[in-house]
Amino acid sequence: MSDEGSEPAVVRLSGVRKEYGEAIALDGVSLEIHPGEAVAVMGPSGSGKSTLLNLIAGLDRPSSGSVVVHGDDLGRLNEKGLALFRRRRIGMIFQFFNLIDDLPALDNVALAAQLAGVAAPHARRRALELLDELGIAARRNTYPAQLSGGERQRVAVARALMNRPALLLADEPTGALDSRVGEQVMDLLLDLNQIGQTLLMVTHDERLATRCASRVIEIVDGKVARERTLERA
Amino acid sequence: MSAVWVAARAAVRRRRLQTTVVGIVVLVSTTMIVVALGLLAVSAGPFDQAYDRQNGAHLTVAYDRAKATDAQLTSAAGWSGVAAVAGPFGQATLEATAGSAGGGRRPAMPLTVVGRADPQGTVDQLNVWDGRWATRSGEVVVNQNPAGPGRSFDIGEQVSVGGATLTVVGRAYSMSRSADAWVTPEQMTALRPTATQMLYRFTAAGTTSQMEKDEAEVSKGLPAGARLGSTSYLVLREEAAREVATYVAFLVAFGVLGLAVAILIVANVVSGAVVAGFRHIGVLKALGFTPTQVLVVYLTMVSVPAVIGCVLGIGLGNVLARPLLSQAFRNLGSEGIGVPIWVSVAALVGVPLMVALSAFVPAMRARRLPAAEAISAGSAPHTGRGQRVQRWLSGTRLPRAVSLGLGLPFARPARSALTMAAVVLGVTSVTLAIGLGDSLTRYQRAEARSGAVQVEVFASGGPDGGSAQDEALLRSVPGTRYVLGAADLMVRQVGSTEQTMLKLYKGDTAALGQLVLEGRWPSAAGEVAVAKRFLVQRGLSIGDTFTVEAGKGPIPVRIVGMVLYNETETIIADWSTAALVDPDAFPDRFEVQLAEGTSVQAYIDAVRKTAPGLVAVQPEAGEEFILIALVTFTLLTLMLTVVAALGVFNTAVLSTRERRRDLGMLKSIGMTPSQVTVMVVTSMAALGALGGLLGIPIGIAAHRVVLPAMANAAQVGFPDAVLNVYKAPTLVLLALAGVAIAAIGAFLPARSAARTTIAQVLHNE
């Protein structure tokens, strides 16, 4: 884990407010995430933690306040700018994997690089390396429907890492997995963080948070209710 | 209110977009069908009604008075198949001259005069619509259509006919065209008739073969050569319906195409609704809806917009058909002719029925679907479809947004096939319309000899104002390349009451004469060339001989060629024939082709300086029918293109809605809005490209059927160049038409997909 004070923050939120009509999802949230950190965002349903993730991923825009990720002020980017930002800076892992059913594992992973204009052979080579690192290279030609939940999530992680993102975002990454497979995914995320990957995850799972995160941010009613630093084993 | 109706109404409201698409598609298709069927249904109606009102003659025959006596003719007319007969009437074709109101003279013209005591009778009851009937010698009544154009004589005008001076006392109209003018029998005797006219109505006269049999029966026992000529009402009927029949040929083609597209799109919409509504179907069944009630819900869902679209289409079709009918039947006093009510009723029953049938197959799928399976199924496409294609595409060098788009149609092959079929029909329509438009334009240019004849030159003093030296004078004007001198003489074919124009040509006929379609250009005295319509209407062929009268006695002429010409009553001959008809004639009109690089206006100015007695002008513009047809093609093509694009639009909407999770994911990993647009548009453009390739040959085949059908209906011949209009650049443009239709249809859903808020989609299953 890196020293928080020595490098500029990867994520900086200042007074972020997000409204959906009358409802206030986030209310004046300010926080920073530094390189190499693994941060877990926790809170009850409807507290605003997924909204927070969406804003940091550039999937949504704040009603007020600023979101700066890796030096990019997301409020100043247009739709194309946000897409390019996501492509270059962000890797995302979802609870339900969100793989494309028509593509085998290898092509699902390679897709992220191909969208950036990387030629198919190069993209596939890099995708194979990642699948190999994550231990599922043997399943590279298998379609998502034939993969287990854990394997699907590993493919999703490989896809998220494809463009060497500055920040890996995970939304309930173990939420759709049984406990044994969930453990494997936790180990994977921990390993990634230990080799320097900055990680922000939204989770209900206290075990995931305590095992993988160095810091926990608790959101209640759209506000940061509590922050705590964890000592990982 | 029944539960089925409540559920169906809710389904209609939930699918506003698809409901609107079905409504518009059915509206456009119904409009085309109503116009086509309406024209087809009334194509002969106004003529038949007007003809029956006059007890028009089924057959008008002129007999040689020297060979058949009145008693013989009356006896022969006693055959049991004759329902009514009028005659014998004395008949003569005489040269007539009349003074104009301004004191000037009118050109002499041949006039078929018949002696009749009474305008009424059992056959050919004349409508004396102005003045009165001739009751004494020295009076004449002229034949003129009150609603149509034609030669006009004023009441009280003096007409010199065959040496006698007659006063016009009335104007009457004979739909049978039995004469140009009528006098009393006593006056006719004084005019020395050369023929006897008999007018027949038969008990069976519906077909050409029946008419031939009837004519043979009433001529039985008469001396050989007694029959000089005859006119069948079927020819008149066909002529009256000719313009309508020309419209019908292409309107039927477009109507069928429109209905086919509508069926495909409706099937696509309903199958899409079934697939997207699996959970909805499960819920309905879980609530206690029987399988048949579910079927009815889905059929009702599509029938509501179909009926609304159909009713609006029927109204629009009736409105659009009216001007076409009025234009086509303008000479029959046809104001107020409309589409028969049965056409509207048939469309109201038939079109929604066709729509319901096309919805039946996918609705049956909803009926059969087990409730538990339906509830548990998502709306995402089945996995495993098109995977090989997707995989292959992912390895190509194409931009990933493009390769992803190319693979999308394979995920739902049935829907893609229906969409592509709609595009195929759209491209077929465009191909057909462009081909017909090009063919008609080429025909018009060839018929008018556009490009060949750049300047027309007339004698400034009127028809007889020129001189024999004019041609030489014109050839001396700089810039003259070819000159064709022409003179028009009025003659009459024996046995016909129609005035016939004998066009005599002199000069560069090879370069400027009408295009010869069959046979050859007339080159000797007594040889003529005619239009196809002339041959068809008279049952003549190349090589046949017929007789014309020009006030100087009968002149036999032989048909040696069929030329590209649109006038029925015109005979074209070489100048050598002038010696037989009017030896003193000289060209009073010249058609000129200019040397390359010569300005038309400069040439006209030069003619004015060199030959002040001549007036040079540019040729007139094309025919009104062709202009109307071109406008109609364009409108129909636009309508069908919009319908086909709506089919693509519907598919793109269904596809993007079903794949919104994938789209969200792609955006989350960095797909830009423009890449999303490219992907969705590409998915449809691929279908469009394939549809284009299939639609072009079908359109060309349809063109090869519809154009000859139009030409047959119009009784015109045309050269191969009019049919062979599809050249490489046109084909390339047509191939792009499919892509364009698909791209236009897919663009809005693609843009909408590109703007989709993805956060919500990705975090929920």
pLDDT digits 0-9 by tens, B452-493: 788 888 775 545 556 667 788 888 888 889 988 888 887 877
Q: What is the structure's pLDDT at B380?
A: 44
Q: What is the structure's pLDDT at A38?
A: 93
A225 close to B (CB below 8 A) = no
Q: What is the structure's pLDDT at B634?
A: 81
Same domain, B475 and B611: yes
Inspect the interface and report whether the beta carbons of A104 and B391 lie closer than 8 Å.
yes
CB-count burial class (<10 Å; 0-12, 13-18, 19+) for B635:
middle
- Which H or E run contains B232? strand B227-232
Return the DSSP state at B99. Answer: B
> Residue A203 falls within a domain, yes or no?
yes
Our CA-based measurement puts residue B364 at a distance from the nearest CA of chain A, in whole angstroms, of 28
A182 close to B (CB below 8 A) = no
B41 close to A (CB below 8 A) = no
> Residue B559 falls within a domain, yes or no?
yes
How far from each other are the two terminal CA atoms of chain A, in whole angstroms?
Answer: 13
Query: How long is chain A?
Result: 233
> Residue A6 falls within a domain, yes or no?
no
Same domain, B180 and B312: no
In the listed set B595, B617, B639, which residue is the last one of a domain according to the structure? B617
Inspect the interface and report whether the beta carbons of A103 and B390 lie closer than 8 Å.
yes
| Residue whose tokens read 């663009």 | B747
In chain B, the percentage of residues whose pLDDT exceeds 70 is 84
> Residue A177 falls within a domain, yes or no?
yes
Give tens-digit pLDDT for B671-722: 898 999 999 999 999 888 988 889 999 999 989 988 888 787 777 788 888 8
- The structure tokens listed for A158 are 């490989």
Our CA-based measurement puts residue A93 at a distance from the nearest CA of chain B, in whole angstroms, of 10
> Full-prediction pTM beyond 0.80?
no
Same domain, B437 and B551: no
Q: What is the structure's pLDDT at B760?
A: 65
State the Cα torsion B474-B480-B482-B485 to the nearest 10°: -20
List CB contacts (< 8 A) between B411 and chain A: 102
Inspect the interface and report whether the beta carbons of B661 and A98 lie closer than 8 Å.
yes
Nearest to B672 among A84, A95, A171 (CB): A84
In chain B, the percentage of residues whose pLDDT exceeds 90 is 7
> Residue B30 falls within a domain, yes or no?
yes
Interface test with chain A among B391, B400, B752, B758, by most A beta carbons within 10 Å: B400
Same domain, B375 and B403: no
List CB contacts (< 8 A) between B386 and chain A: 102
A21 close to B (CB below 8 A) = no
Interface test with chain A among B393, B665, B675, by most A beta carbons within 10 Å: B665
Q: Distances from the Cα of B391 to the Cαs of A120, B288, B407, in angstroms? A: 11, 44, 9
Nearest to B670 among A86, A96, A110 (CB): A86
B673 close to A (CB below 8 A) = yes
Our CA-based measurement puts residue B257 at a distance from the nearest CA of chain A, in whole angstroms, of 35
B445 close to A (CB below 8 A) = no
Same domain, B45 and B104: no
Average predicted confidence (pLDDT) for chain B: 80
Nearest to B670 among A84, A100, A102 (CB): A84
List CB contacts (< 8 A) between A79 and chain B: 672-673, 754-755
Inspect the interface and report whether the beta carbons of A88 and B765 lie closer than 8 Å.
no
Confidence bin at B152 (pLDDT 50/70/90): low
Range A151-178 average pLDDT: 89
List CB contacts (< 8 A) between B395 and chain A: 120-121, 124
> Residue A69 falls within a domain, yes or no?
yes
List CB contacts (< 8 A) between B762 and chain A: 59, 92, 94, 98, 171
List CB contacts (< 8 A) between B401 and chain A: 115
> Residue A34 falls within a domain, yes or no?
yes
Our CA-based measurement puts residue A107 at a distance from the nearest CA of chain B, in whole angstroms, of 7
Inspect the interface and report whether the beta carbons of B395 and A116 lie closer than 8 Å.
no
- Alpha helix ranges (H) inside B618-715: 624-658, 660-668, 673-714
> Residue B212 falls within a domain, yes or no?
no
Q: What is the structure's pLDDT at B103?
A: 46
A50 close to B (CB below 8 A) = yes
B387 close to A (CB below 8 A) = yes
Our CA-based measurement puts residue B753 at a distance from the nearest CA of chain A, in whole angstroms, of 13
> Residue B670 falls within a domain, yes or no?
yes
CATH code of the domain containing A50: 3.40.50.300
Inspect the interface and report whether the beta carbons of A171 and B383 lie closer than 8 Å.
no
Q: How far apart are CA B577 and CA B506, in angstroms?
A: 11
Task: Count how many domains chain A has.
Answer: 1
> Residue B220 falls within a domain, yes or no?
no
Nearest to A145 among B383, B410, B754 (CB): B383
List CB contacts (< 8 A) between A160 and chain B: 669
* Domain that residue A176 falls in: 11-229
More confident residue, B514 or B45: B514
More confident residue, B375 or A8: A8
Q: Of A184, A229, A193, which is closest to residue A212 (Cα–Cα)?
A: A193
Confidence bin at B102 (pLDDT 50/70/90): very low
Inspect the interface and report whether the beta carbons of B394 and A94 lie closer than 8 Å.
no
Give tens-digit pLDDT for B587-627: 878 888 888 888 888 888 888 888 777 778 777 655 556 67
Same domain, B477 and B514: yes
* Domain that residue B264 falls in: 1-52+237-379
Confidence bin at B498 (pLDDT 50/70/90): low
In the listed set B160, B179, B204, which residue is the last one of a domain according to the structure? B204
List CB contacts (< 8 A) between A61 and chain B: none
Beta partners for residue B519, in sequence order: B561
In the listed set B379, B402, B419, which residue is the last one of a domain according to the structure? B379
ipTM: 0.79
Q: Which residue of A has its CA nearest to B756?
A: A59
| String of DSSP letters for A97-116 | ----TTS-HHHHHHHHHHHT
Q: How far apart are CA A83 and CA B469, in angstroms?
A: 84
B515 close to A (CB below 8 A) = no
Range B69-78 average pLDDT: 79
Q: How far apart are CA B218 and CA B81, in angstroms?
A: 9
Q: Of B710, B714, B37, which is closest to residue B338 (Cα–Cα)?
A: B37
Return phi, psi of residue A193, to 5°. -65, -35
Return the DSSP state at B495. Answer: T
Range B380-407 average pLDDT: 77
Give tens-digit pLDDT for B107-116: 566 678 899 9
Q: Which of residues 406-435 of B touch A (CB under 8 A)?
A: 407, 410-411
Nearest to A83 among B385, B387, B673 (CB): B673
Nearest to B662 among A94, A100, A124 (CB): A100
Same domain, B460 and B578: yes
How far from each other are the two terminal CA atoms of chain B, in whole angstroms?
Answer: 36
Inspect the interface and report whether the beta carbons of A60 and B400 lie closer than 8 Å.
no
∠ at Cα B669 (B665, B670), nearest 5°?
115
Q: Could you tell me if A60 and A171 are in contact, meaning their C-beta atoms sit under 8 angstroms apart?
A: no
Q: Which residue of A has its CA nearest to B665?
A: A98
Ranked by mean pLDDT, which of A74-88, B81-95, B323-337 comes out on top? A74-88
Our CA-based measurement puts residue B676 at a distance from the nearest CA of chain A, in whole angstroms, of 11
A119 close to B (CB below 8 A) = yes
pLDDT of B381 > 50? The answer is no
> Residue A4 falls within a domain, yes or no?
no
Q: What is the structure's pLDDT at B528?
A: 92
Amino acid at B76: A
Same domain, B184 and B278: no
> Residue A3 falls within a domain, yes or no?
no
Inspect the interface and report whether the beta carbons of A87 and B670 lie closer than 8 Å.
yes
Task: Count how many domains chain B has.
Answer: 4
> Residue A167 falls within a domain, yes or no?
yes
Same domain, B468 and B610: yes
List CB contacts (< 8 A) between B669 and chain A: 86-87, 91-92, 111-112, 115, 159-160, 162
Q: How far apart are CA B20 and CA B10, in angstroms?
A: 15
Average predicted confidence (pLDDT) for chain A: 88
Give tens-digit pLDDT for A47-70: 998 899 989 998 888 999 999 999
